[in-house]
Amino acid sequence: MPELRSAQWYGGDGRDAYIHRAWMRRGLPDDAFTGRPHIAIANTASDLAPCNRHLSEVARSVRDGVHEAGGIPLELPVISLGETQLRPTAMLWRNLAAMATEELLRGNPVDGVVLLGGCDKTIPALLMGAASVDLPAVVVPGGPMLTGTFKGIPLGCGTDVWRLSEEVRAGTLSREEFTRSESAMIRSRGHCNTMGTASTMGLLAEALGMVVPGVAGTPAPDSRLLVAAHGTGRLAVELVAAGRRPSTVLTKASFHNAIVALGAIGGSTNAVVHLLAIAGRLGIDLTLDDFDRIGSRVPVLVDLLPAGRFLMDDLHRAGGLLAVLREVRDLLDPTALTVTGRPLVDYLDDAPIWDTEVIRPRSAPLVDEGGIAVLRGNLAPGGAVIKPAAASPELLTHRGPAVVFDSIEDLHARIDDPDLDVTADSVLVLRGCGPKGYPGMPEVSNLPMPKKLLAQGVRDMVRVCDGRMSGTAYGTVVLHVTPEAAAGGPLALVRTGDIVSLDVAARRIDVEVPDDELAARSPNQATVDGFARPARGWERLYVDHVRQADTGADLDFLLGSSGSEVSRESH
Ligand code: FES
Ligand code: MG
């Protein structure tokens, strides 16, 4: 075991070491302070993050593993974010959770950390924090819930909420039945069972090398998750001995592999923002264009909602991430390492597909070219993204008149107005939903269909927004428009009736207004009035410092790493 960081607190016989040791004793043996690594278990279990509530049981298995390997496990509750509970959006606090994780790991006498997350923002926040403090770290993803059925039909979390609620609006499902489906939607512990952001980020944490290969995607109630947690606890002690840190594992090569994985699993658009933010903490030069360059050739192989049919427990029984990656092995960077010290590609030899309906072989993909397309144009000079696999193919090239909403309130007030001048060819534009404008860049970009078009059977239209979209949503949605309206982006200048043109093959999103005319316009007062202007607190700090979506929407002063050094003693 190399010289331990925790020895800077506990070593020696001085007054300060006395204080650090004495307050920690409470049952720990003498040798806890002499040469045994102290492993934090950063736990996002919370009653208000229901997808993560079971992580305290997972933490107990991690503890057992740490003990067994001779370490001292120390549970560290960190800020947790429940995607469905927090208003205005959980994303507003991803950076706060990351900052708190980083600071608590740095300030405390710990040598390494096991990160327990699940619900959408929790794994990204933990990885961002761990990257900036750069102590040996490994993730146990909390895993998806089991599939519930309603009237005999499997329900996909999120995706089927959007579908069922549109059915209520269209008059084909009663309110009573809609409410009755709630307990079928959420059948067990665990995070959303669709290929939403939580599933995506759990799997990508493994593709990045930060999870023991084969573990991500294990359903939350599955006993094998506890076995994996136990093994990961043991591994954490090994990581400290080996000095293997996030900066050892996370390289441009591992982000390359994560982008390939994102394409092959048909993962969430939110992964773009999260991967950019994690890379930003490591000083890795990852850009929005890398997602298009590396990812857009990758075939979608996983047939999961929202792009396909199945759910996360199906993916697990079909062979999981490793079986998917084996099919695209030639696209992976073989040099990228995992937490075990071995390259990711080493784990692909023995990774068969057990159900070729759920995981398609490379020769018969669900979609030939998946991934994320990055669009630019006079509507999005800094870039915007679209997930073609979740869009309607016939809308991927489209021109239509804009119907503009100045804020989310404006949208809610008018979208179902029978007099709204809108047809299936219109392009719905919503602004004021970026990181600064809302604030927090909420998942509102998949605007609901106007009721009168729903009644005509319209289920998709081109939509353009500076916000995000739930990973469980679908539709022809151009999102993450950068710069956002509140940061001076041209999205603020579009008027109802302007022709918007989308050409995904050419990677363009434009408004057909001459440059000089666009430049001469100023934003509507209603648009400007909709922008957030927080006076104090976290929201103030956030709005003053948040960067745009094209670089991951991190705070400007959180980029990079401060390492694990602490300059001064506490007394
Ligand atoms: Fe937690 Fe979907 S709400 S993962
Ligand atoms: Mg979400």
Over range 490-514, report the average pLDDT.
98
Instruction: Report whether residue 198 contacts ligand 1, using a CB cutoff of 6 Å.
Output: yes
- CA-to-CA distance for 38 and 61, rounded, in angstroms? 16
Mind listing the pLDDT tens digit for each residue in 145-166? Answer: 999 999 899 999 988 998 898 8
Ligand 1 neighbour 196 (Cβ under 6 A): yes
* Per-residue pLDDT at 316: 98
Of ligand 1's listed atoms, the one at least distance from the Cα of 83 is: 3
Smallest-distance ligand from the CA of 85 = 1
Ligand 1 lined by 84 (C-beta under 6 Å):
yes
Is 39 close to ligand 1, i.e. is its CB under 6 Å away?
no
Delimiting residues of CATH 3.50.30.80 domain(s) in the chain: 373-533
pLDDT of residue 384: 98
- Around ion ligand 2, which residues have CB less than 5 A away? 83, 120, 197, 470
566 CA from centroid of ligand 1 (Å):
35
Over residues 221-237, mean pLDDT: 98
What does the pLDDT read at residue 166? Answer: 82
CA of 61 to the centre of ligand 1 (A): 23
Which tens digit of pLDDT belongs to each residue from 10-46? 999 999 999 999 999 999 999 999 999 999 999 999 9
Residue 390, pLDDT score? 85
Query: One-letter amino acid identity for 340?
Result: T
For residue 295, give both structure tokens: 């990812």
- Residue 297's pLDDT is what? 86
Rg of the chain taking only CA atoms, in angstroms: 24
Residue 125 CA to ligand 1 centre (angstroms)? 15
Helices (H), 434-535: 451-455, 515-520, 525-530
Question: Please, which residues have CB within 8 angstroms of residue 16's CB and are 6 or more apart in sequence?
Answer: 9, 569, 570, 571
Give the per-residue pLDDT at 567: 84
Residue, of 167 and 534, whose pLDDT is higher: 534
Residue 96 in this model has a pLDDT that exceeds 80: yes
Compute the distance from residue 196 Cα to the ligand 2 centre, in Å: 7
* Ligand 1: residue whose CA is nearest its atom 1: 119
Instruction: Flag whether pLDDT at 385 surpasses 90.
Output: yes
Region 303-323: mean pLDDT is: 95
- Please tell me the predicted confidence (pLDDT) of residue 186: 96
pLDDT of residue 283: 97
pLDDT at 162: 84
119 lines ligand 1 (CB under 6 A): yes
Strands 462-465 and 477-482, by their bridges, are: parallel
pLDDT (average), residues 394-414? 98
- CA 84 to ligand 1 center in whole angstroms: 7
Share of the chain above pLDDT 70, in %: 100
* Domain topology for 373-533: Glucose Oxidase; domain 1 (3.50.30)
**Predicted local confidence at residue 159, as pLDDT:** 87
Tens-digit pLDDT profile for residues 330-383: 999 999 999 999 999 999 999 999 999 999 999 999 999 888 999 999 999 999
Mean pLDDT of the residues in the chain? 96
**CA atoms in the 13 A half-sphere facing the CB of 240:** 28
Residue of the nearest CA to atom 2 in ligand 1?
A: 192
Q: Residue 471 C-alpha to ligand 1 middle, in angstroms? A: 10
Q: What are residue 304's DSSP bridge partners?
A: 310
Q: Verify whether ligand 1 is closer than 6 Å to residue 191 (CB atom).
A: yes
pLDDT confidence of residue 170:
81
For residues 305 and 384, is the Cβ–Cβ distance under 8 A? no
pLDDT in tens, 247-266: 999 999 999 999 999 999 99
- Could you report the per-residue pLDDT of 202-213, keeping only the tens digit for each? 999 999 999 999
Phi, psi dihedrals of residue 256, rounded to the nearest 5°: -55, -50
Beta strands 72-77 and 38-43: pairing type? parallel
Q: What string of DSSP letters covers 513-539? A: S-HHHHHH----HHHHHHS----SHHH
ipTM (interface pTM): 0.93
Average pLDDT score over residue span 108-129: 98
Residue 510 binned pLDDT confidence (cut-offs 50, 70, 90): very high
- 422 pLDDT higher than 80: yes
Question: Which of 48, 157, 203, 468 is the best mutation target for the ligand 1 pocket, counting ligand atoms within 8 Å of the beta carbon and taking the most?
Answer: 157
What does the alpha-carbon distance between residue 25 and residue 124 come to, in Å, rounded to a whole number? 33
Q: How far is the CA of 518 from the centre of ligand 2 (A)?
A: 34
For residue 51 and ligand 1, the question of a CB distance below 6 A is answered with: yes
Would you place residue 132 in the very low, low, confident or very high pLDDT band (cuts 50, 70, 90)? Answer: very high
pLDDT band at 167 (very low <50, low <70, confident <90, very high): confident
Question: For residue 268, which ligand has an atom nearest its CA?
Answer: 2
Question: What is the pLDDT averaged over residues 66-73?
Answer: 98
CA of 127 to the centre of ligand 1 (A): 18
Secondary-structure percent of the chain, ordered helix, strand, coil, rounded to 5: 40, 15, 45
For 425, residues 6+ apart whose C-beta sits below 8 A from its C-beta are 398, 400, 401
Q: Which atom of ligand 1 is nearest to the CA of 191?
A: 4
Q: How far is CA 472 from the centre of its chain?
A: 11
pLDDT of residue 306: 86
